[in-house]
């Protein structure tokens, strides 16, 4: 089972490395085609029922170390050992722009069901664990944003 983990991570990375939108002709009747069109609208709109807590992050961190870190990197920067060895271009979750246009529902759907070449976690993880992973993935950008805040920004005026 754990041999599927690298494939799952690679597919997650591929899913996020695709352009969010393809270029469209100037005709107003043509809709933008998204790399995420396969995700059902109801799933994309599903709210995350798991609050971001230290417990949620701790649970997800265990899964991350087992299944995700080898490609996404320990800190979510996309520079895991497997990704580097395979010369994969993995998205950087520490960049706030990476996920800003994606809902928690989309991320959960991709984790549970896979996307394009990414195999699903499926029943390997419980629903709560999948939402924990969504919280954890989102936490990478928050850590970086907090680290880059200037000291003057934190002071009340």
Of 10-24, 112-126, 142-156, the one with minimum mean pLDDT is 10-24
- Kindly state the percentage of the chain with pLDDT values over 90: 48
CA 92 to chain centre: 9
Q: Predicted confidence band at 135 (pLDDT cuts at 50, 70, 90)? A: very high
- Phi and psi based region of residue 19 (left: phi greater than 0; alpha: psi -120 to 50; beta: remaining): beta
Element (H, E) at 152: helix 151-154
- Both tokens of 55, joined, read 């417990």
Domain ranges of the chain: 4-14+37-146
- Please state the pTM of the whole predicted model: 0.69
DSSP string for 98-111: HHTT--HHHHHHHH
Q: At what angle do helices 104-113 and 127-148 cross, to 10 degrees?
A: 130
Q: Predicted confidence band at 28 (pLDDT cuts at 50, 70, 90)? A: very low
Range 4-14+37-146 has CATH code 3.30.70.920: no
Q: Predicted confidence band at 92 (pLDDT cuts at 50, 70, 90)? A: very high
- Going by C-beta distance under 8 Å and a sequence separation of 6 or more, which residues neighbour residue 81? 70
pLDDT computed for residue 26 by the predictor: 43
Q: Check whether 123 has a pLDDT greater than 80.
A: yes
Of 17-31, 48-62, 96-110, 112-126, the one with minimum mean pLDDT is 17-31
pLDDT computed for residue 37 by the predictor: 61
Q: What gap in Å lies between CA 104 and CA 47, rounded to an integer?
A: 7
CA angle 51, 111, 131 (to 5 degrees): 10
């Amino acid at each position: 089972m754990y041999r599927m983990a690298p494939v799952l991570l690679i597919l997650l990375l591929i899913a996020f490395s695709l352009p969010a939108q393809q270029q469209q002709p100037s005709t107003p009747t043509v809709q933008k085609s998204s790399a995420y069109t396969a995700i059902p609208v109801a799933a994309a709109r599903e709210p995350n029922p798991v609050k971001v807590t230290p417990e949620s992050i701790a649970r997800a961190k265990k899964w991350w170390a087992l299944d995700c870190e080898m490609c996404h990197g320990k800190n979510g920067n996309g520079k895991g050992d497997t990704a580097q060895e395979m010369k994969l271009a993995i998205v950087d979750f520490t960049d706030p722009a990476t996920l800003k246009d994606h809902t928690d529902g989309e991320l959960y759907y991709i984790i549970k069901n896979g996307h394009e070449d990414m195999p699903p976690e499926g029943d390997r993880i419980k629903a709560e664990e999948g939402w924990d992973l969504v919280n954890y993935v989102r936490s990478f950008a928050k850590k970086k944003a907090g680290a880059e805040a200037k000291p003057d920004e934190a002071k009340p005026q």
